Chain A
Amino acid sequence: MIVLNRINYHYRQQSMQFDLSIAKGERVAIIGPSGAGKSTLLNLIAGFIMPTSGQIILNGLDVTHLPPNKRAVAMLFQTNNLFTHLTVYQNMGLGIAPSLRLSASEKSSLFDIADKVGLTDYLQRYPHQLSGGQRQRVALARCLLQKRPVLLLDEPFSSLDPLLRLDMLSLVEDICRTYSLTLLMVTHHLEEAQRITPRTLVIQQGEIIADNQTDLLINDLSHLYTSTF
């Protein structure tokens, strides 16, 4: 599903190399210290930055030189996931069409997904009238409306309180199962990985230094966390 073939990326003093292969429907966590290149990896896959060399294949298609909107991925960022001056309905609808001219069937799928993430009563509200959790639900709902098979999450829940974060994680897991999405998620919390992603990558200084089942990694990892980071 996702293949990174000897990807090289240079930026200022930093240089990064990624080689990676993820199967369809897999759920993978990315952990590592700040500045290690976790977000860079996601940005490369999403197409916000271009690799110096190498090849990115999504869904069997070479997307290395395609712009973000032509790639089979939807991404949630750390911040600025919503247009604060637009309503929930408009924010979600922009996931379907940039002109927001929606057909009847598109509208009904929007209402379905709003119902699924529990936002039906909030469609006419503005983001500042919502709680932090609700806002991320809107963003997640929009990602689903984009109908992309790969979901990239760049710590979107890090500003939420722990209980809410777990709530959102179960929602993400549920969604991934229902729509058989491939998930790649940056996190700082091991227990998040343990909860929903069977596989985990550890990144340090622009390289993947470990790639294994989350359960097997967890012991080494907690050791690694206390010693290195």
Chain B
Amino acid sequence: MAKRSQSLSSLLPGTLAAVAILGLLFSAMLSLWLFAFDQTDLNFIFSPALWRILGFTLFQAALSTVFSVVFALILAKAYYPLRFYGKALLLRLFALTFVLPSLVLVSSLPSIYGRHGGLATLCQWFGVDYSFSLYGIQGIIIAHVFYNFPFAFRLFYQSLAAIPLEQRQLAAQLGFSYWQHVRYLEWPVLLRQIPSIASLIFMLCFTSFAVVLTLGGGPKNTSFEVAIFQALRDFELDKAVILSLVQTLLCLLFMVLVRRLTPPSIMASQVEHPNHIGTLSTLPTLISYIIVGLSALFILSPLVVIVINGMAAFSITLITSTLIQAILNSLTIAFCAATVTLLLAISLLWTYSRLLVRGYRWLSESMIMMGSLILIIPTMVLASGLFLLFFTLSNVSWFIAILVIISNGLATLPFALKILEGPMETIYQRYHCLSQSLNITGVNHFYWIEVKGLKTLFCFTFAFACMMSMGDFGIIALFGQPDFATLPYYLYQQMGSYQQQQADFTALLLLMICLLLFYLTEILMRHYDRT
């Protein structure tokens, strides 16, 4: 009896969460299907339009991936051996790209790469003709590289740092040249990382929405996600269904690939070797500094531009009641969405770790899969399915808010799972015998072990989820209304109506809120590392 109640409390939270997620996704898909059934025009599958979208989506994602990975490799190699003041700081600044909402980035790009931007002015100085247009595949790639190259760089850099000091000492003893060093020591380590990083970046670029929507520059440059958005907006539901099915299948394929290609995580000793041996000669050092400098310029210039433009644009008249309402909406949504994320993640992982300890590998893995389902089903599809299901409520703003909360909550769930998966399993496993012998189960276990032991990490995950959903510009693009806007939606409207000054200020505001949340996560993480 005791045993049965114990296994019930182990299984219940995860099962409930999984059922809720599946139920939501399934009913959304189904309602979309049923609506589309009335007007199905299967010809779309064979139309060149679909193939053009597929072609463009794959092409931009492939190019973005190649550029991101190659730049990241070059920078990692250049960055690693250098010793300069502020090296660790710069490394942390690179992580900032993760914080920057995509619309904020997009709003800053014209000031750098546009016809009257910084680069154009620089070219004029040197008398070079500048005819670069930001809108089109070039702009999309710049934005995608901006987001993904620092991420890949950090992973590559960690791999390099994880090469044992003894190997480097051995290489020095054997008198390896610069290229032999790369070939025998560093390249094999980096090569192992490339497939998983590349496939992940590819998938992220494949499903990119806000960047393609704003920088695509015309109907011929449309990705799947944007095409689904347009189809839903124009109420061409059959088109939306077909597009989302194709995208779901492709994403499923990528997800399997990513999981297959991910190497067992290297226990990177992220401490730098203090007395790293082998100094570079002058020329490679110089080249390395140039590479690092250009990369820093690439990464930091949008941030600087946003701050300068935003401050220059400031005027008290910009603080309208609409703006304040948008900020409040965004904050409310972010808090609720983060709560949803945390609840789902903890429930799934609670059951996950208990199943894992009892040896049900496959079942426990399915908990993680449930939480990651949203990666293959576009949030746009989820939201519009629910929208159709509750069509009578479609003009009620609290209902739109709930839709946004649910899809944001689900969208951040895979990240939350990644953060909490290891710690929740470890803490359960470590105290498994002890809590059994002390009869600590259920609510007591949750309070005394999970909450007491991981509270900082829970807060970190919460702040992180808040940050992600704060800057999100996904389904709000579909459902935003003049009387219900989030901050990113407000920014999008201003950008669309060429209110540059207002947009600059809103962008700065959004950046500041996200930075604040990011700073909070940093503090929490440092606190967690200490305990």
List A residues at the B interface (Cβ < 8 Å): 46-48, 67-70, 73-75, 77, 80-81, 83-86, 90, 94-95, 98-100, 142, 146
Contact = CB atoms under 8 A, between A and B. Distances in A.
B441 to A, nearest CB: 7
B438 A95 contact: yes
B439 A69 contact: yes
Contacts of A47: 436
Contacts of B439: 69, 98
A81 B434 contact: yes
Given A48-B433, A80-B431, A70 B2 contact: yes
21 contacts: A67-B2, A67-B3, A67-B6, A67-B436, A68-B433, A68-B436, A69-B436, A69-B439, A74-B437, A77-B433, A80-B430, A80-B431, A83-B449, A85-B453, A85-B531, A86-B448, A94-B448, A98-B441, A98-B445, A98-B448, A100-B448
Nearest to A43: B433
B526 interface: no
Given A67-B2, A70-B2, 7 more contacts: A67-B3, A67-B6, A69-B436, A69-B438, A85-B452, A98-B439, A98-B444
Nearest to B444: A98
Contacts of B453: 83-85
B440 interface: yes
**Which residue of A90, A98, A99 has the most chain B CB atoms within 10 A of its CB atom?**
A98
A69 B437 contact: yes
Contacts of A77: 433-434
A114 to B, nearest CB: 17
A106 to B, nearest CB: 14
Nearest to B429: A80
Q: Interface of chain B, helix or strand or loop or mixed?
A: helix
Given A67-B2, A85-B452, A86-B452, A94 B436 contact: no
A98 B439 CA distance: 6
Contacts of A69: 436-439
Given A80-B430, A83-B431, A68 B449 contact: no
Contacts of B433: 48, 68, 75, 77, 80
Contacts of B452: 83, 85-86
A47 to B, nearest CB: 8
Contacts of B434: 77, 80-81, 83
B438 A98 contact: yes
Interface string B451-490: 0110000000000000000000000000000000000000
A66 to B, nearest CB: 9
Interface in B480-531: 531
Contact of A146 (B3, B430, B438, B449): B438
A99 B531 CA distance: 24
Given A83-B431, A83-B449, A85-B452, A75 B444 contact: no
B437 A94 contact: no
**Which residue of B433, B437, B445, B448 has the most chain A CB atoms within 10 A of its CB atom?**
B437
Interface string B408-433: 00000000000000000000001101
**Which residue of B3, B6, B439, B531 has the most chain A CB atoms within 10 A of its CB atom?**
B439
Which 5 A-B pairs give the minimum distances between C-beta atoms? A69-B439, A85-B453, A98-B444, A98-B440, A68-B436
Nearest to A126: B531
Contact of B437 (A75, A84, A86, A100): A75
A116 to B, nearest CB: 20
Contacts of A70: 2
A142 B439 CA distance: 13
A14 to B, nearest CB: 17
Interface in B243-274: none
B436 A99 contact: no
A81 B452 CA distance: 16
Interface in B327-359: none
A86 B451 CA distance: 11
A83 B436 contact: no
Interface in B1-58: 2-3, 6
Contacts of B3: 67
A74 B449 CA distance: 20
B445 to A, nearest CB: 8
A100 to B, nearest CB: 7
Nearest to A142: B438
B177 to A, nearest CB: 47
A44 B2 CA distance: 19
Contacts of A85: 452-453, 531
B267 to A, nearest CB: 19
Nearest to B452: A85
A77 B430 CA distance: 11
Nearest to A94: B438
Nearest to B430: A80
B446 to A, nearest CB: 11
A82 B440 CA distance: 13
B155 to A, nearest CB: 30
Contacts of A81: 434
A86 B439 CA distance: 17
Nearest to A77: B433
A70 B445 CA distance: 17
A48 B452 CA distance: 25
Interface in B175-208: none
Contacts of B2: 67, 70
Contacts of A68: 433, 436-437
A32 B433 CA distance: 23
Nearest to B439: A69
A195 to B, nearest CB: 26
A146 B453 CA distance: 23
Contacts of B448: 83, 86, 90, 94, 98, 100
A67 B434 CA distance: 13
A75 B438 CA distance: 10
A70 to B, nearest CB: 7
A98 B531 CA distance: 23
B414 to A, nearest CB: 27
A85 B2 CA distance: 27
A191 B449 CA distance: 38
A94 B430 contact: no
A86 B445 CA distance: 13
A81 B6 CA distance: 22
Contacts of A146: 438
A67 B7 CA distance: 12
Contacts of A67: 2-3, 6, 436
